[in-house]
A and B are shown apart, each in its own frame.
Chain A
Amino acid sequence: MHDDDETMPPARRRWDPVVKLTHWAVVGAVLANALLTEEGSATHVWIGYALAAVLALRLLWGFVGPAEARFSAFLPNPARALAHVREIRAGGHTRHASHNPLGALMVYAIWSCLGVVIASGIAMAGLPGAVRAERHEPAVATAQVGGEREEEGEKDGRKDREGEEEGGLGEVHEAAVNLLYLLIVLHIAGVVFETRRSGRDVVLAMLPGRG
């Protein structure tokens, strides 16, 4: 229905520079924090903040961007996703100017996952200002997290505050990250599959220079 919306660009799939940049910035941030930075280090945290900003910009773009970048072009719809699967099985082929219905679900899954990773990360690291304040006068930060620390404090004896704080949130952060890795693998598998089914445009559309 909205695949042939008259505001959609014709025929070939294409993404605007904001979609591309935010996509690759997320890739860069996830790779950097997965492979390069030390967990919990300042760099890790700052990359996390940058990731949050990039995700926020992409979500803003979901309201103001061109037609195919907007949420309205790829609302999550399991029924359509199922129909899409049936179509693939039947060998049919509809062109989608935005994400295909299955891809759309993946997009929301990855965004939600990133959201949880970011939220738990910021909850652990604190606001940049708060972190600074904490360094100057530990009492402020201690008061903030005092509540949860009571229960968590006993079972985790290592290193005082840092270790204890990480307990529950750290597990959420880690679980969400692992889920994110799984989603990324599925996403790449989906792109490979779709590329073999409908051609190189799927990949080319996300590469620079075809705005």
Chain B
Amino acid sequence: MKHHHATLQRRAALLAVVVVLQAIAALFFVLDLFGDVIADGMGQHLAIEGAAVVALVVAVFGGALQIRALVLATRADEAAVAMARGAAAELVRLRFAQWKLTRAEADVALFALKGCDIAEIARLRGAAAGTVRAQLARVYAKAGVGSHAALLGSFLEDLIVAETPAPAGLE
């Protein structure tokens, strides 16, 4: 599974490469400009060149700020995913205990929560599809739900707060 923070991380790394190249270019132009001004004095052409150099330096600054934002967003994302993962694992453990699932049922239920269908679960556990279907039925009964979707829903209900989530960070 691809995580959002991995994408952010790649973007930050790419942008860092760009900004390093920009910084090198900016320094070359700054030095070149100084050299030209020393050699020829300030003219209209050099004034425009100077403005371009300033723009490049500002771009380096802006790029640096953008990288910082990406790095921080990556870390926030990682932390959020880790926290959610911990909370979800804890919730699953708790519910399974409350429902008094057997080991085999808990196993099957966990696969079901991760999105596996009966055929996949059977293959993963090396069991017959019929056995898995029966175990899953007992899980549904103990959990008081009627379907796979309802089982997932019963967990999401506890994990998701009813208020609308804030739109996620950067553009």
Residues of chain A touching chain B, judged by Cβ–Cβ distance below 8 Å, are: 9-10, 16-18, 20-22, 25, 49-50, 52-54, 56-57, 60-61, 64-66, 122, 126-133, 140, 208, 211
Contact check, A131 vs B71: say whether CB atoms are below 8 A apart: no
B17's contact among A21, A129, A131, by CB below 8 Å, is which?
Answer: A21
Asked if B106 is at the interface (CB within 8 A of a chain A CB), the reply is no
29 CB contacts below 8 A, A to B, read: A17-B16, A17-B71, A18-B16, A20-B16, A21-B13, A21-B20, A25-B20, A49-B24, A49-B27, A49-B28, A50-B27, A54-B24, A60-B64, A127-B32, A127-B38, A128-B31, A128-B32, A128-B35, A129-B32, A129-B33, A129-B34, A130-B38, A130-B39, A133-B36, A133-B38, A133-B39, A140-B39, A211-B13, A211-B71
A54 neighbours in B (Cβ, 8 Å) = 20, 23-24
Q: Apart from A18-B19, A49-B31, A127-B31, what 4 extra A-B contacts exist at CB < 8 Å? A: A16-B68, A17-B12, A18-B16, A50-B27
A130 neighbours in B (Cβ, 8 Å) = 34-35, 38-39
Contact check, A56 vs B31: say whether CB atoms are below 8 A apart: no
Assembly CA distance A164 to B119 (angstroms): 84
Contact check, B38 vs A16: say whether CB atoms are below 8 A apart: no
Asked if B65 is at the interface (CB within 8 A of a chain A CB), the reply is yes
A129's contact among B12, B36, B72, by CB below 8 Å, is which?
Answer: B36
A56 neighbours in B (Cβ, 8 Å) = 23, 27
B56-72 interface with A by 8 A CB criterion = 60-61, 64-65, 67-68, 71-72
Contact check, B64 vs A57: say whether CB atoms are below 8 A apart: yes
Contact check, A57 vs B19: say whether CB atoms are below 8 A apart: yes
Contact check, B35 vs A133: say whether CB atoms are below 8 A apart: yes
A128 neighbours in B (Cβ, 8 Å) = 28, 31-32, 35
Interface size on B, residues (CB 8 A): 35
Asked if B132 is at the interface (CB within 8 A of a chain A CB), the reply is no
Proximity bits, B30-60, A CB within 8 Å = 1, else 0: 0111111111100000000000000000001
B24 neighbours in A (Cβ, 8 Å) = 49-50, 53-54
> In the complex, what's the smallest C-beta–C-beta distance from B52 to chain A, in angstroms?
15
> In the complex, what's the smallest C-beta–C-beta distance from A94 to chain B, in angstroms?
22
Asked if B135 is at the interface (CB within 8 A of a chain A CB), the reply is no
Asked if B75 is at the interface (CB within 8 A of a chain A CB), the reply is yes
> In the complex, what's the smallest C-beta–C-beta distance from B9 to chain A, in angstroms?
4
Contact check, A52 vs B27: say whether CB atoms are below 8 A apart: yes
Contact check, B39 vs A53: say whether CB atoms are below 8 A apart: no
Asked if B26 is at the interface (CB within 8 A of a chain A CB), the reply is yes
Return the chain B residue nearest A61 by Cβ. B64
Contact check, B12 vs A16: say whether CB atoms are below 8 A apart: yes
Assembly CA distance A53 to B16 (angstroms): 14
B75's contact among A9, A20, A129, by CB below 8 Å, is which?
Answer: A9
> In the complex, what's the smallest C-beta–C-beta distance from A148 to chain B, in angstroms?
17
Contact check, B23 vs A53: say whether CB atoms are below 8 A apart: yes
Return the chain A residue nearest B71 by Cβ. A16
Contact check, A66 vs B35: say whether CB atoms are below 8 A apart: no
Assembly CA distance A172 to B38 (angstroms): 25
Assembly CA distance A211 to B17 (angstroms): 13
B74-99 interface with A by 8 A CB criterion = 74-75, 79
Assembly CA distance A127 to B64 (angstroms): 26
> In the complex, what's the smallest C-beta–C-beta distance from A52 to chain B, in angstroms?
6
A64 neighbours in B (Cβ, 8 Å) = 61, 64-65, 68
B17 neighbours in A (Cβ, 8 Å) = 17, 21
> In the complex, what's the smallest C-beta–C-beta distance from B114 to chain A, in angstroms?
26
Return the chain B residue nearest A210 by Cβ. B9
> In the complex, what's the smallest C-beta–C-beta distance from B75 to chain A, in angstroms?
6
